[in-house]
Amino acid sequence: MTATIAKRLLAAIPVLFGLSLVVFGMIALIPGDPATAILGSYATPENVARLNASLGLDKSLPQQYLAWISGVVTGDFGRSYALNRPVIDIVLERFSATLLLAGASLLLATIFGLLAGIVSAVRQFGLADKAITLVVLIGISVPSFWLGLLLILFFAVRIKLFPASGMVAIYGGGGPLDILHHLVLPAITLALVATGVIARLTRTAMLEVLRQDYIRTARAKGLTERRVIYRHAFMAALVSVIPVIGIQAGFVLGGAVYVETVFQWPGIGAMLVNAISQRDILLVQGGVLVVAASYVLFNLLADVCQTLLDPRLK
Amino acid sequence: MRKIVAAAFALCAMVLTLPALAQTPPNVLIVGQIAEPKSLDPQAVTATNDFRILVNVYDGLVRFKKGTLEIEPALARSWDISEDGTTYTFHLREDVTFQDGTPFDAEAVKFTFDRMLKDDHPFHDTGPFPLAFFFSQVEDVTARDAQTVVFKLKEPFAPFLSNLAYPTGLIVSPAAVKEHGQDFGRNPVGTGAFKFEGWDPNSKVVVSRNDEYWDGAPQLEAIVFRPIADANTRVAEMLSGGIDLMVEVPPDSLNQFREDENYSVYEEAGPHLWFLILNTKEGPFSDKRVRQAVNYAIDKKALTEDVLQGTATVAAGPIPGAFEWANDGSVEPYPYDPEKAKELIREAGAEGKTLTFYVPEGGSGMLDPVAMATAIQADLKKVGLDARIQTYEWNTYLANVNPGLEGKADMAEMAWMTNDPDTLPFLALRTDAMPDKGGFNSGYYSNPEVDRLLDEARKTTDQEKRGELYGQVQQIVHDDAPWAFIANWKQNAVSTAGVQGFELEPSFLLVLKDVTKG
């Protein structure tokens, strides 16, 4: 097991390296440069050349890449042009905010997705099943940026129950409860689609399992219905649901961009969008590398969980 | 299981009982900004968003008089300009100290400008200083004595004083730069009405009252600047009580606030111009009549009132009306006259011509570029011109348009915001400002008379005479029509009704010294 994990981690290194090359190449290929973005209206060729020189961007592309990668190996990700701070500080700060948001959403999505899936499988074609299917369908279809605005309008503007934006209160904020208070609306918004997907798949997996012979055997042995469903059927269904949750983790991280923008959540998605439009190449590189590394880790984590749960894979 | 559920409920209850929004504290103004500032080092930044904080923390030698674009004394009590217009001698105030307690004097002024302009200055590496070229005419700065500082210019340069009033000319504390080096932008020290307290990335910048302020301490205890990039979220924060003042309100919401007596709406036309660059070198627009026809054909009133919902006024010529002293009001906007346009197009034999029309998707000062382009396209269709729109992302767009339109496009949208009437025509309408000479004259307009007038205006330090020269420029360029003049943007802001003494400035800076919050 440990050997497998180590092997998977080692295999990630060339992936990340290749990715950094591709991202660097793409940013270098699109027109416009940081100096043009910084100077805006005043970007005369002369001013651009002078500013590029002082930013160290007058060197050849391979030279720039080499300078960057040799820094990264020693833990130095460079300094952002647009925000004038070390890239690693910004990326870690932003990424932890995204992780918190995505983590909370995934937790919500998993709990409610599994519950809804189980209920609608057990009560197949019943009223509960129909209601859940309808809600799930709406949840999957509603765009998150629109839902987010609706939630803000109702819960922040109308009944003033939750704050409209941000991660901490401007005065006396920063405690765990305060952050949780700010987290509720964005987490629900982000969780909705994933909840729907997980619920749908749990329902299908449960229905499949419930038709198997050993479930009939379990019932015939006289086990309580509760025990049959949660111990025998659910545990078996979980094996096929876990990889879906792993994939949803990726979608939640990706979907966070919209939610972060609407709720002004200081996460890495909104930061990356900004950094790209500013041609802030070092910040984009650093951000992408961290996000990519986390994808690799999440997938690995999902695989490990699956192996632990599925006796056949052990 | 029960315990977990009970704990979850308890947590929910606790979260819900938190005040949804601590009502904003009394006497502290919370401002909704459009983005996180880059830095609070006045020489290192270029964005209006950052300037809005800076002008409250720092002062310059001179400043814009309230409500105008005219210059008045600030840290300099007075100044003399030599006959030939190349030597400016400033007499400084004696009673001023920086917020870190060090004295403000001629050496501090010299330090500020040398750091930005001299490559061999020991603190030049605290840059880069992208707007240093505002002062490229400065040859050297000398501290004659503690209260007198002399700027020697390479040649006469009349916009020098307005450039000093611009945030790039704000004076920094040398002691603080020496202490913080590269991180000065996160530990700013000036002489302004508010002193820097703290900066939580992505959350807020806090400044507090400077009780020692030389121009009278402000009444507000503190100001909190919050970055809220999404305009709709900014509106929601305003409605839910999370901020007291917001800038750049979306037009739709502006009307909503206007009808609600709990809010005050502010609008002010600024030195902004939204125009179409026309390619005068080739194609239909090499004929002046077709260029004029486009100016007649576009319904600018419909654009400003319907598409932009009243957030802009109709532009008359290359020099925005906000520069009152440079506008005698004799140049009127081209009226909307499709018949006249058709006639001119017929005369020029340009009926049914196809035009390539470059349009950005967004960008600084560009307002609503795609919607505006579509409306313009429809207007041109009515007079028999077929404009084909090509859209680009903003930085890609600049990289395409700035090198010139030749061989690529017939027309392109553009917008500028400046602090002096000289800036835009000088950088974008002169023969010497063609793209291959490093300027922004992407439509290749050339008129020797305009070149001469602009040069002369640059060398004239007398404001009234300068104003007359720009009046002539306005007239000639209006008639030559190298651009289609469309709109001057009105900046806007909304505050809660309790906020008093706030005014928007034509300079687009956000001066909060005289604001109170009831």
Q: How large is the average pLDDT for residues B365-391? A: 94
| Chain A CB contacts of B202 below 8 Å | 93-94, 97, 167, 266
> A127-133: long-range contacts at Cβ-Cβ below 8 A with a sequence spacing of 24 or more?
A129/A203, A132/A199
β-bridge pairing B411-417 and B354-360: parallel
Q: Which of B4, B18, B364 to mutate to test the interface with A (most CBs of A within 10 A)?
A: B18
pTM for the full predicted model: 0.85
How many CA atoms are closer than 13 Å to the CA of B38, on its beta-carbon side?
27
- CA pair distance B348, B362, nearest whole angstrom: 34
Q: Which amino acid is at A240?
A: S
pLDDT surpasses 60 at B294 = yes
Residues 353 to 382 of B: which have CB under 8 A from any A CB?
Answer: 364-365
Which region among A44-53, A295-304, B4-13 has the lowest average model confidence (pLDDT)?
B4-13
Could you give the CA distance from residue A302 to residue B6 in angstroms, rounded to a whole number? Answer: 30
List the Cα angle B148/B150/B155 in 5-degree steps: 160
Lowest mean pLDDT among A248-262, B39-53, B485-499, B503-517: A248-262
Q: What is the pLDDT of residues B63-116, one digit of tens each?
A: 999 988 889 999 999 999 998 999 999 999 999 999 999 999 999 999 999 999
Average pLDDT, chain B: 91
Cα distance between residue B189 and residue B479, in whole Å: 49
Which pair of structure tokens corresponds to residue A158? 């109308």
Q: Which residues of A fall within a CB distance of 8 Å from B228?
A: 165-166, 264
Q: How confident is the model at residue A292 (pLDDT cuts 50, 70, 90)?
A: confident
Cβ neighbours of B416 in A, within 8 Å: 41
Give the tokens for residue A124.
Answer: 């197949």
Compute the nearest-CA separation of B475 from chain A (Å): 24
Q: In the structure encoding, which two tokens stand for residue B183, read together?
A: 């991180």
Taking only residues 70 to 129 of chain B, the set having a beta carbon closer than 8 angstroms to any beta carbon of chain A reads 127-128
Decide: helix, strand or coil at residue B176.
helix
Considering only CB atoms, B127 lies closest to which of A54, A165, A170, namely A54
> Mutation test of the interface with chain A: which of B5, B15, B400, B420, choosing the one with the most A Cβ atoms within 10 A?
B15
Check pLDDT > 70 for residue A283. Answer: yes
Q: Which two tokens stand for residue B383?
A: 């007079």
- pLDDT of residue B20 exceeding 60, the answer is no
The Cα A299–Cα A245 span in angstroms is 10
For residue B349, give the nearest of B430, B410, B392, B286 by alpha carbon.
B286
Q: Which stretches of B298-435 are DSSP H helices? A: 300-302, 338-348, 369-382, 394-401, 423-428
**Which two three-digit tokens encode residue A132?**
């859940």
Q: For chain A, say whether B400 makes contact (Cβ under 8 Å).
A: yes
| Joined tokens for residue A237 | 């269904």
Q: Show the 3-state SS of chain A.
A: CHHHHHHHHHHHHHHHHHHHHHHHHHHHHCCCCHHHHHHHHHCCHHHHHHHHHHHCCCCCHHHHHHHHHHHHHCCCCCECCCCCCEHHHHHHHHHHHHHHHHHHHHHHHHHHHHHHHHHHHHCCCCHHHHHHHHHHHHHHHCCHHHHHHHHHHHHHHHCCCCCCCCCCCCCCCCCHHHHHHHHHHHHHHHHHHHHHHHHHHHHHHHHHHHCCHHHHHHHHCCCCHHHHHHHHHHHHHHHHHHHHHHHHHHHHHHHHHHHHHHHCCCCHHHHHHHHHHCCCHHHHHHHHHHHHHHHHHHHHHHHHHHHHHCHHHC
Q: Is the pLDDT of residue A149 over 70?
A: yes
B115: chain A residues, CB-CB within 8 Å: none
What would the two tokens of residue A202 be? 């749990």
- A126-135, A215-224, B170-179, B222-231: least confidently modelled range: A215-224
As given in the structure block, the two tokens for residue B471 are: 């009046």
Gap between the Cα atoms of B74 and B165, Å rounded = 9
CA distance B190 to chain A (A): 20
> Which whole-number Å values give the CA distances from A295 to A7, A119, A238, A289, B374, in the listed order?
16, 31, 21, 10, 42
- Residue A85 CB-half CA count within 13 A: 19
Predicted pLDDT at B1: 56
Exposed e or buried b per residue across B47-74, where buried means at least 16 C-beta atoms within 10 angstroms of its C-beta: bbbbbbbbbbbbbbbbbbeeeebbbebb
Average pLDDT over residues A204-232: 86
Name the pLDDT band for B255 (thresholds 50, 70, 90): confident
Place of tokens 């400065």: B138
Portion of chain B with pLDDT greater than 90, in percent: 72
- Chain B contact for A52 (CB, 8 A cutoff): no
Rounded-to-integer distance, Cα B27 and Cα B30, Å: 10
Is residue A137's pLDDT more than 60?
A: yes
| pLDDT at B324 (0 to 100) | 87
Q: Which residues of chain A are within 8 Å of residue B440 when distances are taken between CB atoms?
A: 41, 44
Residue B65 CB-half CA count within 13 A: 8
The predicted structure's pLDDT at residue A150: 92
Q: What whole-number distance in Å separates Cα of residue B165 and Cα of residue B76?
A: 11
A29 touches chain B (CB under 8 A): no
Report the DSSP pairing between strands B138-145 and B148-153: antiparallel
Nearest to B37 by CA among B221, B179, B224, B250: B224
CB B431 within 8 A of CB B446: yes
- Give residue A16's pLDDT: 84
**B45/B129 Cα distance (integer angstroms):** 7
Checking if the pLDDT of B38 tops 90, the result is no
